[in-house]
């Protein structure tokens, strides 16, 4: 099974549609490292005329020499200069002169732009003068989100008005793990996702050994790539990592409010706000507000979470215990993780609950649709999952429990009581309720669910689904 191309149908369909148009294209392909950008670009280009060039952090004349050699081999042109093209304009003029429909991939374009700040402008000129009127399919792929935004995605970027498409390649969602690990239990898949999220390269580490064997061997042992991975990735993206590290460690330990992060790190409000703003832009952290907020951007009920399970795991268990791991006290750290990991799994189950239910509803063609999902909270209560449909005035309340005991009527009654505190569509709304459980439901709850139309899900399987016909 090709791990890298599970669940990439939408991205491939987009690229193939652009290719079938027959016109010149400039596609920006970006996303976090290890997420599968290169595999996506190469897979798309397979079977089509293409040239692939991996940019490096080396002087530009060496880069030009390397790509000249690639062009020489591809076009069988012995007359190309041995020392390479003298500049990018000459290179692009040559490509246009060949009059061929070809995919040209510049992988890690951000490295190129970092080596020479004039590169985005050079590519803009090359596109305007030569490539836009050719049939070249140009893909610029990059892992540094900040650099890709500066060079191609922000309104001030030289290439901003030239791109004909862009794809943010995201990590896999949880349900993809069902295809990756058909023989693993739901609980073990949830544990894996809790530790490394949906990054293909990290997920592949868990294919041969059990979860805890892999954590010990790949994530806690000095010298292994995942041991230093987050440190490396953040230092590549951020210029002043010290304060970012402090903020991320604070959030990983459960400090989600701005005031809590300030108290934990000792940083002032302005500094924390500025740094978190950058982390949000890089898709490392995310601001959450109650899903019912009418103006989320102006809400004061902000909470901040790390929007990457691997980074969260690394800060909470690796970075925090590095003084022990550097002394090879791996087993000691592993026992610490085992004692705390149930809480992590519970939080992950909450995050994926909406997706699990949505997949079930979609599969059964149930006419139950919501415009947005999220958490809800006020000073006194919190609800794991609330969904809204402003047009139909429908609201959905969900309670997610990852515990060793079956869920009973008390949990359902508590959810109904908390739902009364949600001031949305009061008096005009139609409410639905759902319970998510690790181990199932009591007989009393199963009976009551059928009487009051409560959705019941055990792990990722529907145990009871009411009739939603309107």
As a whole number of angstroms, the distance between CA 435 and CA 425 comes to 22
Output 145 or 417, whichever has higher pLDDT: 417
CATH code of residue 429: 3.40.1350
Q: How far apart, in Å, are the Cα atoms of 105 and each of 26, 141, 266?
A: 10, 7, 45
Express as a percent the part of the chain with pLDDT over 70. Answer: 97
Q: Do 294 and 419 sit in the same domain of this protein?
A: no
User: Where in the sequence is the domain holding 29, given as residue range(s)?
Assistant: 3-168
* Contacts for 219-223: CB closer than 8 Å, 24+ residues apart: 219/195, 219/313, 219/314, 219/318, 220/317, 220/318, 220/325, 220/330, 220/333, 220/334, 221/325, 221/330, 222/325, 222/326, 222/328
Q: Do 160 and 229 sit in the same domain of this protein?
A: no
Q: Which residues contact 235 (CB under 8 A, 6 or more apart)?
A: 241
Structure pTM? 0.90
Q: Do 327 and 380 sit in the same domain of this protein?
A: no
Q: Do 428 and 460 sit in the same domain of this protein?
A: yes
Residue 14 structure tokens: 């987009």
pLDDT at 60 exceeding the cut of 80:
yes
As a whole number of angstroms, the distance between CA 406 and CA 439 comes to 5
Among 151, 168, 185, residue at a domain's last position: 168
Residue 4: which pLDDT band, with cuts at 50, 70 and 90? very low
CATH code of residue 342: 1.10.10.10
398 touches 385 (CB < 8 A): yes
Q: Which residues contact 101 (CB under 8 A, 6 or more apart)?
A: 22, 49, 135, 136, 137
Q: Do 397 and 336 sit in the same domain of this protein?
A: no
Distance of CA 281 to the CA centre of its chain: 12
Counting the structural domains of the chain, the total is: 3
Q: How far apart, in Å, are the Cα atoms of 83 and each of 56, 65, 86, 96, 119?
A: 18, 6, 8, 20, 20
Each residue's pLDDT tens digit, 264-294: 999 999 999 999 999 998 889 999 999 999 8
Among 133, 168, 203, residue at a domain's last position: 168
Range in 149-153, 290-294, 466-470 the model is least confident about = 466-470
Residue 63 structure tokens: 């880069």
Output 466 or 168, whichever has higher pLDDT: 168
pLDDT at 210 exceeding the cut of 90:
yes
Q: Do 14 and 160 sit in the same domain of this protein?
A: yes
CATH code of residue 118: 3.40.50.300
As a whole number of angstroms, the distance between CA 383 and CA 377 comes to 6
pLDDT at 221 exceeding the cut of 90:
yes
Q: Do 161 and 288 sit in the same domain of this protein?
A: no
Q: Let me know if residue 322 belongs to a domain.
A: yes
Q: Return the SS3 of 201.
A: helix
Output 102 or 466, whichever has higher pLDDT: 102
pLDDT at 468 exceeding the cut of 70:
no
The average pLDDT across 355-369 equals 81
pLDDT at 469 exceeding the cut of 70:
no
User: Which ranges in 266-394 belong to alpha helices (H)?
Assistant: 269-281, 309-313, 322-325, 330-363
> What per-residue confidence (pLDDT) applies to 2?
47
163 touches 123 (CB < 8 A): no
> Among 311, 302, 327, which Cα is nearest to 249's?
311
Distance of CA 276 to the CA centre of its chain: 17
Among 298, 320, 346, residue at a domain's last position: 346
As a whole number of angstroms, the distance between CA 170 and CA 189 comes to 19
The average pLDDT across 29-42 equals 91
Residue 376: which pLDDT band, with cuts at 50, 70 and 90? very high
Q: Let me know if residue 447 belongs to a domain.
A: yes
> Among 433, 468, 462, 466, which Cα is nearest to 451's?
466
Q: Let me know if residue 469 belongs to a domain.
A: no
Residue 153: which pLDDT band, with cuts at 50, 70 and 90? confident
Each residue's pLDDT tens digit, 168-179: 999 999 989 998
The average pLDDT across 432-459 equals 95
Q: Do 195 and 326 sit in the same domain of this protein?
A: yes
Q: Let me know if residue 336 belongs to a domain.
A: yes
> What per-residue confidence (pLDDT) applies to 1?
40
Q: Do 98 and 184 sit in the same domain of this protein?
A: no
398 touches 374 (CB < 8 A): no
Q: Let me know if residue 198 belongs to a domain.
A: yes
Cα-Cα end-to-end distance for the chain: 42
The average pLDDT across 428-452 equals 95
Q: Do 254 and 397 sit in the same domain of this protein?
A: no
As a whole number of angstroms, the distance between CA 335 and CA 19 comes to 52
The average pLDDT across 52-62 equals 93
Range in 111-120, 145-154, 190-199, 217-226 the model is least confident about = 145-154
The pair phi, psi for residue 291, each rounded to 5°, is -65, -20
Q: Do 162 and 199 sit in the same domain of this protein?
A: no
Q: Let me know if residue 358 belongs to a domain.
A: no
Q: Let me know if residue 30 belongs to a domain.
A: yes
Residue 108: which pLDDT band, with cuts at 50, 70 and 90? very high
How many CA atoms within 13 Å lie on the side-chain side of 75?
19
Q: Let me know if residue 359 belongs to a domain.
A: no
Q: Do 183 and 163 sit in the same domain of this protein?
A: no
Give me the chain's average pLDDT, please. 92
> What per-residue confidence (pLDDT) applies to 6?
67
The average pLDDT across 290-302 equals 90
> What per-residue confidence (pLDDT) applies to 470?
47
């Amino acid at each position: 099974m090709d791990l890298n191309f599970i669940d990439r149908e939408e991205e491939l369909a987009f690229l193939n549609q652009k290719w079938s148009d027959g016109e010149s294209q400039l596609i920006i392909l970006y996303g976090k490292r290890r997420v599968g950008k290169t595999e996506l670009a190469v897979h798309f280009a397979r079977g089509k005329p293409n040239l692939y060039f991996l940019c490096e952090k080396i002087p530009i004349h060496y880069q030009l020499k390397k790509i000249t050699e690639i062009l020489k081999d591809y076009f069988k042109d012995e007359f190309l200069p041995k020392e390479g093209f003298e500049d990018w304009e000459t290179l692009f003029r040559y490509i246009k002169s060949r009059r061929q429909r070809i995919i040209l991939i510049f992988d890690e374009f951000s490295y190129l732009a970092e080596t020479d700040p004039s590169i985005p402008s050079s590519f803009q000129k090359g596109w305007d003068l030569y490539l836009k009127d050719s049939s070249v399919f140009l893909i610029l792929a990059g892992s540094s989100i900040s650099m890709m935004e500066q060079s191609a995605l922000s309104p001030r970027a030289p290439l901003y008005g030239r791109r004909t498409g862009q794809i943010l390649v995201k990590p896999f969602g949880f349900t993809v793990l069902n295809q990756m690990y058909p023989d693993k239990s739901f609980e073990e898949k949830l544990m894996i996702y809790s530790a490394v999220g949906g990054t293909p390269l990290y997920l592949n580490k868990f294919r041969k050994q059990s979860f805890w064997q892999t954590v010990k061997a790949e994530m806690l042992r000095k010298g292994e790539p995942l041991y230093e991975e987050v440190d490396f990735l953040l230092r590549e993206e951020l210029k002043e990592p010290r304060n970012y590290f402090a903020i991320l460690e604070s959030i990983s330990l459960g400090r989600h409010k701005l005031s809590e992060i300030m108290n934990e790190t000792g940083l002032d409000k302005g500094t924390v706000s500025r740094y978190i703003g950058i982390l949000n832009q890089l898709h490392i952290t995310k601001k959450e507000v109650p899903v019912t907020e009418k103006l989320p951007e102006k809400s004061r009920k902000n909470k901040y979470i790390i929007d990457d399970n691997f980074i969260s795991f690394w800060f909470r268990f690796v970075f925090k215990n590095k003084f022990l791991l550097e002394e090879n006290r791996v087993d000691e750290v592993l026992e610490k993780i085992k004692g705390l990991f149930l809480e992590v799994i519970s939080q992950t189950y909450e995050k994926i609950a909406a997706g699990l239910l949505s997949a079930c509803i979609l599969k059964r063609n149930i006419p139950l649709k919501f415009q947005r999902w999220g958490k809800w909270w006020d000073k006194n209560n919190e609800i794991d999952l609330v969904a809204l449909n402003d047009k139909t005035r429908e609201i959905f309340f969900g309670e997610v429990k990852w515990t060793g005991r079956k869920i009973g009527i008390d949990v359902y009654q508590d959810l109904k009581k908390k739902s009364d505190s949600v001031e949305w569509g009061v008096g005009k709304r139609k409410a639905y309720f759902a319970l998510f459980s690790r181990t199932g439901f009591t007989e009393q709850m199963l009976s009551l669910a059928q009487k009051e139309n409560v959705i019941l899900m055990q792990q990722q399987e529907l145990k009871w689904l009411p009739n939603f016909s309107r």
